Structure 1
Amino acid sequence: MIGKLRPLVWLLLALPALLMLYQLASGETFAFKLLHPTGELALRLMVLALMVGPLIAIFGRNRFLLGWLALRRNIGVAAFIYGLLHLVFYVMDMAAIGPILDEFWLPGIWTGWLSFALMLAAATISADWAVKVLGPWWQRVQYAVYGAVLIGALHWYWLDNNAGPALVHLAPLLILWALRGVIKRNRRARKKAREKEHLA
Structure 2
Amino acid sequence: MTFLGQKPSTLVLWVVLSIPAIPLIGPLFGDDAQAFHRLLHPTGEWAARFMIIGMMASGLMLLFKGRQWPRWLVHHRRDIEVAAFVYAALHTVIYVIDRGTWDRIVEALPHTDIWTGWLAMLIFVPLAVTSNSAAQRWLHAGWKTLQRWAYPAAVLVLIHWAALHNWGSWPPAAVHFGPLVALWAYRLWYWYLRPRAPIAAA
- What one-letter code is carried by the residue in structure 1 that aligns with 2:180? L
2:189 is matched with which residue?
Answer: 182
C-alpha distance 115-61 of structure 1, shift in aligned 2 (>3 A) = farther
Question: 2:135 — aligned with what?
Answer: 130
C-alpha offsets along residues 39-91 of structure 1, whole Å, 9 cap, x if unaligned?
11111111000111111222224321111111100000000001001101101
Greater relative contact order (Cα 8 A, min sep 6): structure 1 or 2? Answer: 1
Deviation of 1:8 after TM superposition, in Å, equals: 1.3
Match of 1:114 in 2: 119
What's the CA shift for 1:165? 1.2
Q: Could you tell me whether the CA contact under 8 Å between 2:47 and 2:88 is conserved in 1?
A: yes
- TM-score of the aligned structures, taking structure 2 as reference length: 0.89
Gap regions ≥5 residues in structure 2: none
Give the corresponding residue for 1:141.
146
Partner Cα distance (1:182, 1:144) in 2: 21
1:172 partner letter: P
- The residue correspondences of 1:10-29 to structure 2 (distance < 5 A) are 10-27=14-31
Match of 1:63 among 58, 65, 68: 68
Runs of 4+ in 1 over 3 A off after TM superposition: 26-29
Q: Bigger shift: 45-54 or 16-25?
A: 16-25
Match of 1:166 among 170, 173, 186: 173
What is the deviation of 1:27? 4.0
Distance 2:105 2:64 in 1: 46
Q: Distance in 1 between matches of 2:26 and 2:143?
A: 36
TM-score, normalized by length of structure 1?
Answer: 0.90
Q: CA deviation at 1:186?
A: 5.0
Deviation at 1:15, TM superposition (A): 2.2
RMSD of the alignment, in Å? Answer: 1.9
Residue 3, structure 1, aligned to residue 3, structure 2: no
CA displacement 1:95-128 (0-9 Å, x = unmatched): 1111001111211110000111111121010121
Distance 2:41 2:20 in 1: 13
Are 2:201 and 1:198 aligned?
Answer: yes
How far apart are 1:30 and its partner, in Å? 2.7
